Amino acid sequence: MTRAALMLLPLTLLAGCPTSGRAGLDASLEGPDADRVAMDAEQPQGLDASAAPDAGLGEDAGLVWAIEIGSASLGPVNRRLLGNNVQWVDHADHLTNEQGAILPDRLATLQAMGVPLLRYPGGTLSDAFRFTDSIEPLASRPLGLDLQGVAQPMALGTNEYMSLCKQLGAEPLITLNLYSGTPLDATAWLSYLNLTEGPQRGWPKAVYWEIGNEPYLTTSAPGYGPDELTPAEFSRRANETLRALRAVDPTLKLALPVRLDSMNGTPTVTKPGFLDTVLELVTEPFELAAIHDGYLPVDLGDTASDPDLFLATMAGPLAFEEELRRYRARLDEAKPGNAVRFALTEYHPWLKIRTMLLYATNPDFTMEELIEAVDADHRANSLAGAIYVADLLRLLSYRSDVELAAFWSASGNYVFGALNDQGVPRPPALALQAAGEVLRGELLPVSGATPTLSTPNVGLVRAFSAVPTLTTLAAREGTTVRLLIAHKHPSDAIRVSLPGIALQGATARVLTAADALSRDDSRAWLQWQPLPIVNGRLDLPPHSLVRIDAPQP
């Protein structure tokens, strides 16, 4: 996804925009009246809301909620969930200098964050990318067109990208051009990376290849007139490309982009029936279904209040999991026995789209209106956005059918990007790094009771009656147990215990703020702070993330 693609998608979504609304939650969500409806299909595995004590969160200081961490390993953690995106435009979104070298401070920050997988050459811009242009010497390399049709130097070409992967210890994920590219172009790129240039330079092998980017949307890539890539034509080209790549290397993992027609009653494609057509006509095997359903909740009509927007963001991972179930049913029906796994090749918290609404509805907007709209959209880079990222990564970690995930994107791309244009980590980046610290060694099971919240219908996220207030990601590396706990209640603190884990010598840190939707993209305003562990218990502030390292005897 890129700036111009962002302009396209909301126009599609606005056609059937549902209104935001309450779902059984009082306006303030304060005190003991927060909903604790017994969980049913909304209950994550291992959590028991029906066993939850019938008591208030904030008023009963003696109430302790136990988070039980099991000792039996669920298998190795999946670090490919911590992937990211980088594109060539705008000097790789301000990652490189004029010569294509990664800026040292940006490189150090990404290395500290941990990026085990990196997707390239962009979202929509991959639709116009030519591999042969990208390997020319920088001084003579052809200029590329950005999404406004402006010529730009391609500072991050293929060689620079692979060098970055090597420096980060990241696996490459290549998105192919299915619009003007050919199967021969794809195999030439594959041979360059894995058979000729790559081995000589010590580059990591490119195993993951994505057969196009968002072909279910009308492309806004530069240089195109009408988009003639119908679902049937895409299927034909996909078959040819899959077959050609497989002939060069049968060990590749190939990802086919798919999208359901709607989410929460809102159209999410400009080519209706794309999924059905592609699953019928793509007959060549593919290992992965590439999806982009993690941009949530998206307040399409810009009508949700801040309290509603926060709650819908907290429900976002549940809405995403429902989409996975819908995809799973369609894939299993269409490709029985193929065990297609998921690749979430783009995702990001996306709360407000006021800037795009402004462009779409008021072409004579003032600079003051634009500044206000951009600030509103930066709610994506709030504490709420960080909690969303942490909880989504937890959800993905406990699913056996998710191969990888890639955050959009590594660096400043409007409100998207782990780092802003100056290289400062945004709140979602803090969640990414925290999840990366936890996801080492073996995944551990989590169980126990949790309070729940009712959440409203906002944008692409439906109303839920029982969103767990507490969710936990747990892993063990050697003798150290590491946890990342998300506490989603907007106003009440909660006291928790961790039975079964020795806490002597354990350390805890908390990420919280007075306002869960506050934002400041000019500086690193949100910081982890020490959190006391007293008598084996922790008091978690409202809307917070907590990181715990607990060496075990």
Question: What phi-psi label fits residue 457: left (phi over 0), alpha (psi between -120 and 50 degrees) or beta?
Answer: beta
| pLDDT per position as a tens digit, 328-339 | 999 999 999 989
| pLDDT per position as a tens digit, 118-160 | 999 999 999 989 999 999 999 899 998 888 888 999 999 999 9
In-domain check, residue 510: yes
What's the confidence (pLDDT) of residue 95?
96
In-domain check, residue 533: yes
| 177 and 56, same domain (yes or no) | no
DSSP state of 56: -
What's the confidence (pLDDT) of residue 413?
86
For residues 49 and 131, which has the higher predicted lDDT (pLDDT)?
A: 131
Q: Residue 29's closest CA among 57, 53, 49?
A: 57
Q: Would the pLDDT of 9 be above 90?
A: no
Q: In 124-198, where do the E strands start and end?
A: 144-145, 151-152, 171-175
In-domain check, residue 303: yes
| pLDDT per position as a tens digit, 236-260 | 999 999 999 999 999 999 999 999 9
Alpha-carbon gap, residue 343 to 21, rounded angstroms: 32
Reduced DSSP (H G I as helix, E B as strand, rest coil) percent helix, strand, coil of the chain, to 5: 35, 25, 45
| 429 and 448, same domain (yes or no) | no
How does strand 341-344 pair with strand 402-407?
A: parallel
| pLDDT per position as a tens digit, 208-232 | 999 999 999 987 777 665 678 999 9
In-domain check, residue 26: no
In-domain check, residue 22: no
| 257 and 369, same domain (yes or no) | yes
Looking at 421, 441, 461, the residue that finishes a domain is 441
| 415 and 451, same domain (yes or no) | no
| 519 and 530, same domain (yes or no) | yes
CB crowding 310-345: b at 16 or more within 10 Å, else e:
bbbbbbbbbbbbbbbeebeebbeeeeeeeebbbbbb
Query: What number is the average pLDDT over the span 34-54?
Result: 35
Q: How many separate domains does the chain show? A: 2
In-domain check, residue 331: yes
Query: What number is the average pLDDT over the span 499-507?
Result: 95
Alpha-carbon gap, residue 479 to 219, rounded angstroms: 50
What's the confidence (pLDDT) of residue 61?
55
Alpha-carbon gap, residue 404 to 349, rounded angstroms: 18
| 318 and 463, same domain (yes or no) | no
Q: Would the pLDDT of 51 be above 50?
A: no
| pLDDT per position as a tens digit, 442-479 | 999 999 999 999 999 999 999 999 999 999 999 999 99
DSSP state of 439: -
List the domain range (segments joined by +) for residue 360.
Answer: 3-15+79-441
In-domain check, residue 285: yes
Please count the helices (runs of H) and the strands (runs of E) in the chain: 14, 27
What's the confidence (pLDDT) of residue 149?
84
Q: In angstroms, what CA-CA distances link 210 with 121, 206, 221, 521, 529?
A: 11, 11, 17, 32, 40
**CATH code for the domain in which residue 526 is found:** 2.60.40.1180
What's the confidence (pLDDT) of residue 22?
28
Query: What number is the average pLDDT over the span 526-542?
Result: 98
Q: What are 76-79's contacts with CB under 8 Å, separation 24+?
A: 76/441, 76/442, 76/443, 77/397, 77/439, 77/440, 77/441, 77/442, 77/443, 77/475, 78/396, 78/397, 78/402, 78/403, 78/404, 78/439, 79/114, 79/116, 79/436, 79/439, 79/440
The structure tokens listed for 509 are 């840190």
Looking at 423, 441, 459, the residue that finishes a domain is 441
Q: How confident is the model at residue 116 (pLDDT cuts 50, 70, 90)?
A: very high
Three-class DSSP category at 174: strand
Alpha-carbon gap, residue 404 to 415, rounded angstroms: 23
What's the confidence (pLDDT) of residue 486?
99
What's the confidence (pLDDT) of residue 224?
61
Alpha-carbon gap, residue 432 to 398, rounded angstroms: 16
pLDDT above 70 covers a percentage of the chain that reads 88
Q: How confident is the model at residue 17 (pLDDT cuts 50, 70, 90)?
A: very low
| 275 and 197, same domain (yes or no) | yes
Query: What number is the average pLDDT over the span 56-74?
Result: 79
What's the confidence (pLDDT) of residue 223?
66
Least confident of 20-29, 104-113, 269-278: 20-29
The average confidence (pLDDT) of the chain is 89
| 63 and 202, same domain (yes or no) | no
| 150 and 55, same domain (yes or no) | no
Least confident of 133-137, 172-176, 311-315: 133-137
Query: What number is the average pLDDT over the span 423-434?
Result: 98
Looking at 378, 411, 441, the residue that finishes a domain is 441
| 243 and 379, same domain (yes or no) | yes
How does strand 262-263 pair with strand 347-352?
A: unpaired
In-domain check, residue 277: yes
| 268 and 125, same domain (yes or no) | yes
Q: In angstroms, what CA-CA distances link 51 with 128, 448, 535?
A: 55, 9, 24
| 421 and 520, same domain (yes or no) | no
The structure tokens listed for 326 are 């819908």
Alpha-carbon gap, residue 405 to 389, rounded angstroms: 11
Q: How confident is the model at residue 48 (pLDDT cuts 50, 70, 90)?
A: very low
